[in-house]
Amino acid sequence: MNVSNMEAVVTVTVLSSQLIIILGSILLSAVIYSIANIYGISVFLAPIKKLIEAYKKRKNDKIISFEDFEKLIRKAGYAYDPVQDIFYSVINAWQRRFGYCRFYDEMATHCSMIIDCEPFYFEYKGKNWLIEVWKGQYGMTTGCEIGIYSTEGPIVKLPGGFNATLYKSAGDDEMLYMSAILRKNGHILFTRTDYHWWLTGFILGEFSEPEELSVDCSIYFPDEAMLDAFVDAMKKAGYKEDEIAVSELRVSFTFDKPRTPQPITRIPQIAKLHQRKNKILCDLYKEITKDCPTMEDKINAIHQNYPQLFADILSIGKTRNIYKKRKSKKLLKDQQSNGSNSNDLYEEA
């Protein structure tokens, strides 16, 4: 065996060991965090009335205006649509600076996010691109997402095909016009249409299993080259020709059952426990707000009487627990030091 072959074997061996350590750590931390997160609500298996008392730690006499609530939500990266009664991500949300890495999806379950993921990888104009779709239960909300990311760097793949690449969120000149219709058992929950890098929508207090949901997606591309690259990525992911509708520069498809491998940390038993907790919190929200006619009334009923639940509401969608803050910033700096988005563009949390 020559020196180069020995080096290759050593490299693969080291990477394999690193992968085992990384994934083992994720699995262990997911289980530990999940148990702590779930049983942190000491009576999560108790009746709803007892759970209400557990969350009712103290009363807060202060009334919060809806304008102040909207400011808090915006700092969390979202805004409220009163017409559809949903929350959605703003363009310059703080999440934008962290880009995307597969490890984020691996962290989702232990953050009580039980979601389906569908990534599409392709090359276009000298960059490696990723467009990913998500749907499912995000803690106290049911929702969906379409995200656009790219990198000029190489694809980092660990043994076993695990994609460890850190992608940068699409810049302003790379955003695409997209639409997403979220359905639950065929019934439309909401529609989102925007020129965005991260199109989202979340319904507070709605509980769903991921398999109950489907997303009708439409994405408009700037030219045929990008459209063709994306369609090829869809086919590689397992979508059939008759499941992809192309009209001029628009691609439409339905994301229902995932065709691609899901996060290995989404252990069914752990996911089931998180979903039980999520449902109880959704039921709790509905119980508290059942006599409140407006969102402002609902927020104040929560804010004044259930401070802990109010804090949970501010964790809509993908929370900070998903992102390894310091590590992500370092990776982003190392891999994408030539990025055009500076931190002062984003909403501060």
**Residue 311: band (very low, low, confident or very high) from pLDDT cuts 50, 70, 90:** confident
pLDDT for residue 322: 63
Domain count of the chain? 1
> Can you read off the two tokens belonging to residue 312?
């949970």
> Can you read off the two tokens belonging to residue 19?
């992968």
> Can you read off the two tokens belonging to residue 278?
């999520």
pLDDT above 60 (res 243): yes
> Can you read off the two tokens belonging to residue 37?
């997160």
Is 185 contained in some domain? yes
Is 228 contained in some domain? yes
pTM beyond 0.75: the answer is yes
**Residue 305: band (very low, low, confident or very high) from pLDDT cuts 50, 70, 90:** confident
Q: What is the dihedral of CA 199, 215, 263, 112, to 10 degrees?
A: 70
pLDDT above 80 (res 121): yes
The per-residue pLDDT for range 133-186, each reduced to its tens digit, is 999 999 999 999 999 999 999 999 888 778 999 999 999 999 999 999 999 999
Q: Find the domain containing 319 and state its range.
A: 10-345
Is 263 contained in some domain? yes
**Residue 338: band (very low, low, confident or very high) from pLDDT cuts 50, 70, 90:** very low
pLDDT for residue 45: 44
Is 1 contained in some domain? no
Average pLDDT over residues 315-344: 51
pLDDT for residue 52: 56
Is 195 contained in some domain? yes
pLDDT for residue 308: 83
Is 147 contained in some domain? yes
Average pLDDT, the chain: 83
Among 40-54, 146-160, 255-269, 314-328, the minimum mean pLDDT is found in 40-54
Q: Which residue has the tokens 């507070």?
A: 204
**Dihedral sign, Cα of residue 32, residue 38, residue 40, residue 45:** negative
pLDDT above 60 (res 22): no
Query: Which amino acid is located at 329 in the chain?
Result: K
Give how far the C-alpha of residue 304 lies from the chain's centroid of Cα atoms, to the nearest Å.
29
From CA 170, how far away is CA 148, in angstroms rounded? 6
pLDDT for residue 268: 94
pLDDT above 50 (res 28): yes
From CA 235, how far away is CA 199, in angstroms rounded? 23
From CA 281, how far away is CA 287, in angstroms rounded? 10
Among 3-7, 46-50, 185-189, the minimum mean pLDDT is found in 3-7
CA-nearest of 219, 197, 196, 226 to 125 is 226
**Dihedral sign, Cα of residue 2, residue 8, residue 11, residue 13:** negative
Residues counted in the chain: 349
Helix/strand/coil (H/E/C) assignment for every residue in the chain: CCHHHHHHHHHHHHHHHHHHHHHHHHHHHHHHHHHHHHHCCCCCCCCHHHHHHHHCCCCCCCCCCHHHHHHHHHHCCEEEECCCCEEEECCCCHHHHHCECHHHHHHHHHHCEEEEEEEEEEEECCEEEEEEEEEEEECCEEEEEEEEEEECCCCCEECCCEECCCEEECCHHHCEEEEEEEEECCEEEEEEEEEECEEEEEEECCCCCHHHEEEEEEEECCCHHHHHHHHHHHHHHCCCHHHCEEECCEEEEEECCCCCCCCCCCCHHHHHHHHHHHHHHHHHHHHHHCCCCCHHHHHHHHHHHCHHHHHHHCCCCCCHHHCCHHHHHHHHHHHCCCCCCCHHHCCCC
Is 112 contained in some domain? yes
Quick check: 81 and 71 in contact, CB under 8 A? no
Is 329 contained in some domain? yes
CA-nearest of 185, 70, 198, 205 to 137 is 205
The per-residue pLDDT for range 34-75, each reduced to its tens digit, is 544 544 444 344 445 555 565 555 566 678 888 999 999 999
pLDDT above 50 (res 341): no
pLDDT above 60 (res 114): yes
pLDDT for residue 162: 85
pLDDT for residue 296: 93
Residue 131, beta-bridge partner list: 120, 148
pLDDT above 50 (res 235): yes
